[in-house]
Structure 1
């Protein structure tokens, strides 16, 4: 019965995403959705993807990370540099696919390397170190110049001229000016496909033997270690997959705008907090809730833009209501009773649907 409930929950999550995609496509085809709102669809989805990745770390592993904007930054810049470097030599489809592979691989590598020392910490200490990582990445990219010519790649932390490239060389990363001219290969359909793949990976990981080991570490580290679970191995596994998913969101980010810069507005501390808000309000450990919360909370300020005086007041009220609905004991008990009557199955309120 438990396996059937989990399977139904997974299918429900996929169905929600697919139905939302169909509705938005109908609105676009009928001209109901404005061009401004259409431009927000891809960002809405890549923030949902980042929230899914972070929920794996925060909700399933139980470790607080507030540096996932740094992994998005790594994925965005590594993939965008590749796309710019080979824009004239590879067809668009193959180029974008390889850019995705590179962005995800580099983000996973950073997640693995950062996770080895960082995951020895817990709680607030881990949060502070991941925050520092995100800020370090952003500032390093702001100071880095990368170029390519017939001799290969050139790097400098001073200026573009200090790279000493050949006359026909191309600068692909210009320090604080970032990357310009990246092919805008990302679209709403591709973003939805990436979101579905991310959901499939996370939800199947949770149901797997490795996922049960990760949740055992979250629930009681000492008990998990006493039965032979390799704590370090499974924590690094979850953290690396979480970073890779954030990197996939970064690839979509980098290929959705014409000028990519490592600014605080794109990859700073506030973005990491924003993604964490999506996770918390959607329900820690609730993968489906992260997607719904990201979609609602990203689009809501734009939908309320006409109410300029009360827009942020209404947004704040929605945040409070969502928090109470997800975490207030009375609301959780009511939701459990409602779901029990709806499904005909009595369920005990728990930490969250996984």
Structure 2
């Protein structure tokens, strides 16, 4: 019994150390940025070395642009917008220049952006003459009282805001056009995994502010003015400094039904889950209703998550420690 005080002291010390370790916050990176270029049937056996290099080079270019903005003290919003410009201006991805065609042979583009600092957000949907829809989404967020503008009205607003307006022929790419013709000639739907593709970016800056943005050309052969999850805050895009920033890609109808982007943040906020645990739970929810796609996310410490249930997703990550990663296959 004479050793009891000693044992109690040791136990108390153990409990103090255990509690201290459990409440210790993870290391916080100075800044970080994550991108995606769409999820779907992306298989190495179908990719030539030359084509593979094109994709990796463009992902690298996008990451370099975002890294430069953040390294020099720029905001996460600026980093997201300018990084997405790189992807929108490339014919490799289904956004901006590389957007797919609707059933009637037109291009209808969507985009959204969100600022985690004050939960402000903006989006455009169904636009056909704005060179960089992500910039239009930001203008809606910062220079209007609205969150989403669509169609002709969004284009008029973008032109008034001084954004680059282009002729619809700018969006024509032969490969996207030929793909539509194949579908129309066969009079059947393509595989779901080939219908969609989107670009997105999430970032955290030196001030600790999170931002997320998503831009897409939608679904090949879509009809009736269909709009997916990309311009919908909480479905395809979400950012909150308390938790994380998220950008999604995939079959938008399923992402809308589940509110994927907001759901990830909610699990972290209300159940105190880690980003990894929250994204795993949400991906399983997507599996349960047979939805296809993926998402990228960053938590408030700069830790990334890049997950999908398809065979691949163009994606990459860069941070203040000089780490740069690019992936294509699952």
**What is the TM-score of this pair, normalised by structure 1?**
0.26
- Structure with more helix by fraction: 1
**What is the TM-score of this pair, normalised by structure 2?**
0.27
Q: Relative contact order (C-alpha < 8 Å, sep 6+): which is higher? A: 1
